[in-house]
Structure 1
Amino acid sequence: MAMVEPRVVVPLRRRQEKRGAERFEMELPLTVGNAGAGTTRDLSVSGLSFTSRQPYVVGEEIDVTVEYLLDGHNFPLRCRATVVRCDASPGGFTIGAKLNTAFVE
């Protein structure tokens, strides 16, 4: 039986797209500061969007920790980000944030 190579499909950027970097859809758990929790919707090298039960103020700086597994090990990605949008959505809010700094522990 032949092995199937994994692949990631990356959509081409559309001309009307205003973002500076391609975003990848993925759902990962995250925390904001010491209290807020949510789930990522998408990530890029310059920003992310996530769902949250609580709103955030546009312009607010937040500390975000995205949890992801690699080879069975948890690697938290800690980010400092600025909220650029906060939209009401079913069950809470969709937050868009621009990454200021990030590091992996």
Structure 2
Amino acid sequence: MPKKLHTIPVQLAARGAERRAAERVQAEMPISIAGREGITSDLSANGLSFIAEQPYEIGACVEVVIEYLLDGHQYPLHCQAEVVRVRPAPGGYAVGARLTPQSQALLEVPPEGARDSSGL
């Protein structure tokens, strides 16, 4: 009879003061925030950081449109986010925003028609 395997969760790195619930990915992607241009610094399933020319108020709800390329096609991803952090940065302001739960769900499902005819 095969031996029963047990898994033991192992924390790979101490999180310390890290409060993020999802892994961040550094990515510079064009975005539109409340109709103004910006560029992302990083993204996660729960939020994003971006550089903007003007500051935003903490707690402000903003509409964010992230432009991304998938299978050779450009797609706009429309999200709602709450501004949680703003600080001066080169080129403007570094803004951190938490995606609303409805917007977080959008990041988990690829857009319809995003696959090519080969099914990949």
Normalising by structure 1, we get a TM-score of: 0.82
> Percent same amino acid among aligned pairs?
47
> As a proportion of its length, which structure holds more strand?
1
Aligned CA distance change for structure 1 residues 52 and 14 (closer, same or farther; 3 Å)? farther
User: Could you say what the CA RMSD is over the residues aligned between the two structures, in angstroms?
Assistant: 1.5
1:15: Cα distance to partner?
Answer: 1.6
Determine if the alignment matches structure 1 residue 69 to structure 2 residue 69.
Answer: yes
1:20-66 CA deviation, whole Å, 9 max, x = no partner? 111010010000122x1110011111000000111100000000000
Q: Which of the two has higher C-alpha Rg? A: 2
Normalising by structure 2, we get a TM-score of: 0.72
Contact in 2 for aligned 1:58/1:84 (Cα 8 Å): yes
Output the CA distance in 1 between the equivalents of 2:13 and 2:64. Answer: 26
Secondary structure at 1:63's aligned position in 2?
strand
Q: How many residues align?
A: 93
Give the match for residue 20 of structure 1: 21
Secondary structure at 1:54's aligned position in 2?
coil
Give the match for residue 31 of structure 1: 32
1:97: Cα distance to partner?
Answer: 0.1
Give the match for residue 6 of structure 2: none
Aligned CA distance change for structure 1 residues 92 and 64 (closer, same or farther; 3 Å)? same
1:46-95 CA deviation, whole Å, 9 max, x = no partner? 00000011110000000000000112101111100000001100120000
1:13: Cα distance to partner?
Answer: 5.3
Aligned CA distance change for structure 1 residues 76 and 91 (closer, same or farther; 3 Å)? same
Paired AA for residue 81 in structure 1: A
Secondary structure at 2:67's aligned position in 1?
strand
> As a proportion of its length, which structure holds more helix?
2
Give the match for residue 89 of structure 2: 89
Output the CA distance in 2 between the equivalents of 1:31 and 1:76. Answer: 10
